[in-house]
Amino acid sequence: MQTPYYLIDKSRLLPNLEKIAWLREASGAKCLLALKCFATWSVFDFMAEYMDGSTSSSLYEVRLGHEKFSGETHAYSVAYADHEIDQVLACSDKIIFNSIGQLTKFAGQSQGHIRGLRVNPGVSTSDFDLADPARPFSRLGEHDPAAIDAVADQISGLMFHNNCENDSFARFDEMLSLIEDRFGAVIHKMDWISLGGGIHFTGKDYPLDRLAARLKAFAQNFGIQVYLEPGEAAITGAATLEVTVLDTMHNGKNLAIVDSSIEAHMLDLLIYRESAKVSPNTGNEQWMICGKSCLAGDIFGEFRFDAPLKAGDRLSFQDAAGYTMVKKNWFNGVKMPSIAIRELDGTTRMVRDFNYDDFAAALS
């Protein structure tokens, strides 16, 4: 297949899904795929066998979950527009409002719908201010327990989304205890609680049994149904971005230019100033891998190889699913990567290719 393309490998996706299924069974928690992280719906039927549904951040995401992912469909948005709300309600089983203002504004239209409210507990695990939901002056959720309690009769659930790239069970436990202490009185009035995503419980050596016990105790203590919204936990390590070296140069360092662009095809890494991943990244040859866009900083990173790179060599960037495929764009008119899926039997099929017509249709 012609590069560049994203390759989703079901054999690498499956271990994550099996851990999710185990956690659901052991804890009683339900798990919804966070479409803001991963929305490649060609594998939704496979993922739905191990998960309870999907959760969204916009009208289009909730519609996609409703149409393509079986099970429950939860709707959330930082703010709903007047012209969106009716379709959001039609496509969702539960709607979570970001503020009391939005809950009040759409109280009439959402009457009879299962409603929730996002709560900002004031703590998180994010190392990036850009992604920290508990940053100063955050707009993400209500923070006053008294104000939330005053509208408790209008909702049946709460969403706490404050775990960000959290691979520490101890830190998760600590923050959940803070939530229990500060918001316990209103949680007791609820039927369900979502603890959001960002918990890297499918990672190597994560104490999954301790997480299951903690979630089960939390649910029993408050008499609630617990939801988790795994994004990266569901798809970490499941996809690569396949590229080809087009040219090589030397300007103080060995440079290899590939038929892709970090700004167009792995934007999340550029935003957070992180390097792409190449495996095994060993050898005596060190090369800077560069994208083909005109952006001077279009650089995937520096990696080690066993032999000098040359035009025509194929490279694979690891972990190219979460917050990657959903952010691809047409910057510089660089060809958007196709999407391929490797089935469990080892066969690979192309499910989507992008061409000039798609580029032209993106603008007018």
Binding residues for substrate: 232, 268
List, as residue ranges, the binding site.
Answer: 232, 268
Neighbours of 267 (CB within 10 A): 18
How is 108-155 classified by DSSP, letter by letter? TTTTTSEEEEEE--S----S-GGG-TTSTT--SSB--HHHHHHTGGG-
SS3 of residue 53 by DSSP: strand
How is 300-313 classified by DSSP, letter by letter? EEEEEESS---TT-
Closest CA to 265 of 287, 234, 291, 245: 291
**How many Å is the maximal CA-CA distance in the chain?**
67
Which residue stretches of 256-352 are H helix? 262-265, 267-271
Q: Residue 26 pairs with which residues in a beta bridge?
A: none
Q: Residue 9 pairs with which residues in a beta bridge?
A: 342
- In degrees and rounded to multiples of 5, residue 208 shows phi and psi of -60, -35
Tokens of residue 111, six digits: 């009457």
Q: Phi/psi class of residue 28: alpha, beta or left (left: φ > 0; alpha: ψ in -120 to 50)?
A: left
Interatomic CA distance for residues 288 and 252, integer angstroms: 11
Mutual angle of helices 208-222 and 10-27, in 10-degree steps? 40
Q: Residue 53 pairs with which residues in a beta bridge?
A: 32, 72
Sign of CA pseudo-dihedral 119, 122, 78, 163? negative
Cα 31 to Cα 42, 69, 144: the distances in Å are: 19, 13, 27
